[in-house]
Amino acid sequence: MAPDSIVDHRARAALEFFWADGERQVVAYPVLRAHCPCADCKALRGNGLSGLVPEAAVQVAAIQPVGAYGVQFVFSDGHDRGIFPWGFLRGLLERQHASGS
């Protein structure tokens, strides 16, 4: 399920997602970068480099829709391989909020 809209709060370095069921979530750019689901990032995390801590200043430079499937973020550190399926994104955001961060 795709969100109804994504609002880019550049001044807060965060994206806000509005879902069709009324849920609304804000996530900071570095959180998205840290959870990039691409094969490269997964491999790095799998190698115990979970410290793959992105620069705090990393930004989402561009948001590109990937059909009905999800969204691709282009990060300001040049990384653009991460395609976030909607279901993955929603789960990530819910975990973020559940942990109170």
Residues forming the site for Zn ion (CB under 5 A): 36, 38, 41, 82
- β-sheet with 60-66: strand ranges across: 60-66, 70-75, 83-85
Shortest Cβ 78–Zn ion spacing (Å): 11
| Nearer to Zn ion among residue 54 and residue 82 (C-beta) | 82
Shortest Cβ 53–Zn ion spacing (Å): 14
Q: What residues contact 26, with CB distance under 8 A and at least 6 apart?
A: 9, 12, 14, 15, 16, 17
For tokens 């997964």, name the residue: 42
| Nearer to Zn ion among residue 38 and residue 74 (C-beta) | 38
| Nearer to Zn ion among residue 19 and residue 37 (C-beta) | 37
Shortest Cβ 65–Zn ion spacing (Å): 18
